[in-house]
Structure 1
Amino acid sequence: MPQSKKRVVVTRKLPDPVETRMMELFSTVLNLSDEPMSRDQLAAAARDCDVLVPTVTDRIDGSLIEQAGERLKLIASFGTGVDHIDLRAAKARGITVTNTPGVLTEDTADMVMALILAVPRRLVEGNALITSGKWTGWAPTRMLGHRIHGKRLGIVGMGRIGQAVARRARGFGLSVHYHNRKPVHADIENELEATYWDNLDQMVGRMDILSLNCPHTPATYHLMNRRRLALMQPHAYVVNTARGEVVDQEALVEALKERRIAGAGLDVYEHEPEVASGLLDLDNVVLLPHMGSATIEGRQDMGDKVIINVKTFVDGHTPPDRVIETMF
């Protein structure tokens, strides 16, 4: 079938160059308002397109996939995570799923390090003190935070992003530890001077800073639950730039309120865009609006990957970023 006849529906506004190229290559329906599509709108789009281009905030579950028309053969997600898509249901319907891996690694790792610095050193509190006009000058015991150099960093999920975080952490003098489904290659472990922990509980209880960099899967849902948060040391910090569902948000709020852990840096939340009111009232957290990958360059690269995946698919070939359900 000529690719000019392929109907592609994009659920959110993408960078202008990406949308322009998609209009050139396909019969593309854009979302110019950038308002999130309702479930009914998503279902209608899935019934009347060959390719759906959703984002990580669009829930493409089994029920919605069942409503899809026979035309829908590709879900080309604009994002790395695929926990918003029912991969089994898509496979059962013969629908290919692709994502955009690799291009956000450095951007996300930069944000992890920013949070690792911001929370212990109280950067946001310091900025608020200045902007409130309440700063009265330097004093020996005011705005004291914790030193980063020499501390132990535990990385949960040593994939591309975890390894990029480890490289940055070494530059700040942090001791790198990690938990993964299996150890990384010995060459990588040696390069990063990283210590592997097979037992997550044991690692959690011995780290000064915990960075969550694993995908959200059934196995990682509430990985940091009430029991594991209780294992953390009182002076320890947790940083989450992965997925909000990896942490039991209610248990985290309790631990922070009761000062059972020192603080947290969060870029993702369990019920986005809602942020638990308990978090908003705390002074030992830094809260960001899911912006870990939000760079102009990163968004452009993501769009380019989507285009390559769609173009390859409509030309009758296997897309380079096809997601295999069994991988997750």
Structure 2
Amino acid sequence: MQKLWITRPLPDKVVTEAQRYFDVEVRAETLPLTKAERMRALTEFDAVLPTLGDAFDASCFEGQPRCRILANFGVGFNHIDAKAARAAGVAVSNTPGAVTDATADIAMTLMLMTCRRAGEGERMVRDGNWPGWHPTQLLGMHVTGKTLGVVGMGRIGQAIAQRAALGFGMKIVFHNRSAVAGLPFEAAQLPQLEDVLQAADVVVLAVPATPETHHLIDAAALGVMKRESVLINIARGDVVDEAALIEALQQGRIAGAGLDVYEFEPKVPEALRVMENVTLLPHLGTSAQEVREDMGLMAVANLVAFFKDGKPLNPV
């Protein structure tokens, strides 16, 4: 029986399923692997089930690792140098379908909280500073009928757009690196990113983290957005130049932001934390019991398929 290391505590349902097929060791720590632990992962186990923050860079794969597959828990795998892994004979997989709806729901949560100033209102009530209702208190953006700009129309981008279009009557414009057709809602694909940024009242980022998307939203991109617009990021933190975002918010070049991810996560700049017009969540994208179970079960299924057929169900 192959040895499997699960690098963080996972739901019991996932661990039980993994134990049906593998000799499982579950690491008790909730923080990312240290360098020494990453080396142990590759030299002492046949398979590893890592997740966000477990940084397997190219140097980890020097030599001849015992490990044959990294079955990532999550859709994003920018913490793994997949090219270097494959060159060393280590397969890499992820869990794409399981995360779609939950992540889209968090995008909608951020949009509504930021546009309707719900975070500000909640803090006002909790702090005992609510003076009572009056007609001009915490006036925000009415999202119904507004234009949503989606950057990255993959599974998650489509799920967000569908919720916005069918649930809130929003007009959808989007930018994607390849043509997208056959959507179950009305949407216009615009040729340039800047076209979407200029047209949208709310911009939501749903692109993967790649060298090409690093700082995709920089000072220049923020500069073409409407002053009354809101930026939502549920992709990866480094898709946004965080320093440029802070400056744009401080100078009033955009109206607000809703963030579930951060460039130097888990560090969140104080400049963002003190802004009332910014909604901050602690990477809750897939944080639901059923979703985390589905992600774990998909990762296990990738492992089982790999050792049975030589290829995971969701290779990257």
Contact 1:156 1:179 in 2 (8 A): yes
User: What is the number of equivalent residue pairs in this alignment?
Assistant: 315
Q: 2:262 aligns with which of 248, 269, 278?
A: 269
Q: CA deviation at 1:24?
A: 3.0
Corresponding residue for 2:4? Answer: 8
Determine the C-alpha separation between the residues in 2 that align with 1:71 and 1:43: 10
The RMSD of aligned alpha carbons is 1.1
Q: 2:205 aligns with which of 212, 217, 237?
A: 212
**1:203 matched to 2:161:** no
Corresponding residue for 1:48? Answer: 44
Amino acid at match of 2:109: A
Amino acid at match of 1:177: V
Q: CA deviation at 1:32?
A: 2.4
Q: 2:24 aligns with which of 11, 23, 28?
A: 28
What secondary structure sits across from 2:70 in the alignment?
strand
Describe the shift of the 1:35–1:223 C-alpha distance in structure 2 as closer, same or farther (beyond 3 A): closer
Amino acid at match of 1:42: R
Determine the C-alpha separation between the residues in 2 that align with 1:18 and 1:31: 14
**1:308 matched to 2:301:** yes
Moved more, 263-272 or 49-58: 49-58
Corresponding residue for 2:122? Answer: 127
Q: CA deviation at 1:81?
A: 0.8
Describe the shift of the 1:49–1:201 C-alpha distance in structure 2 as closer, same or farther (beyond 3 A): same
Determine the C-alpha separation between the residues in 2 that align with 1:66 and 1:272: 27
Corresponding residue for 2:314? Answer: 321
What secondary structure sits across from 1:103 in the alignment?
helix
Q: Deviations over 1:52-111 (max 9, x none)?
A: 1110211111011225x4321111111101111111101211111111111111111111
Q: Deviations over 1:281-323 (max 9, x none)?
A: 1111000000011110110001111111111112243211111
Amino acid at match of 1:11: T
1:243-258 map, 5 Å: 243-258=236-251
Q: 1:38 aligns with which of 23, 34, 38?
A: 34
**1:141 matched to 2:126:** no
Contact 2:33 2:55 in 1 (8 A): no
Q: CA deviation at 1:33?
A: 3.6
Determine the C-alpha separation between the residues in 1 that align with 2:309 and 2:66: 15
Contact 1:266 1:288 in 2 (8 A): yes
1:88-107 map, 5 Å: 88-107=83-102
Corresponding residue for 1:326? Answer: none
TM-score when normalising by structure 2: 0.97
Determine the C-alpha separation between the residues in 1 that align with 2:216 and 2:256: 18
What secondary structure sits across from 1:291 in the alignment?
coil
Q: CA deviation at 1:183?
A: 2.1
Amino acid at match of 1:155: V
Runs of 4+ deviating beyond 6 Å: none
Corresponding residue for 2:277? Answer: 284
**1:169 matched to 2:164:** yes
Corresponding residue for 2:79? Answer: 84
Contact 2:33 2:53 in 1 (8 A): no
Amino acid at match of 1:19: V
Amino acid at match of 1:64: C
Corresponding residue for 2:111? Answer: 116
Contact 2:98 2:294 in 1 (8 A): yes
Q: CA deviation at 1:133?
A: 1.2
Q: Gapped runs of 5+ residues in structure 1? A: 324-328
Moved more, 126-135 or 246-255: 126-135
Contact 1:182 1:198 in 2 (8 A): no
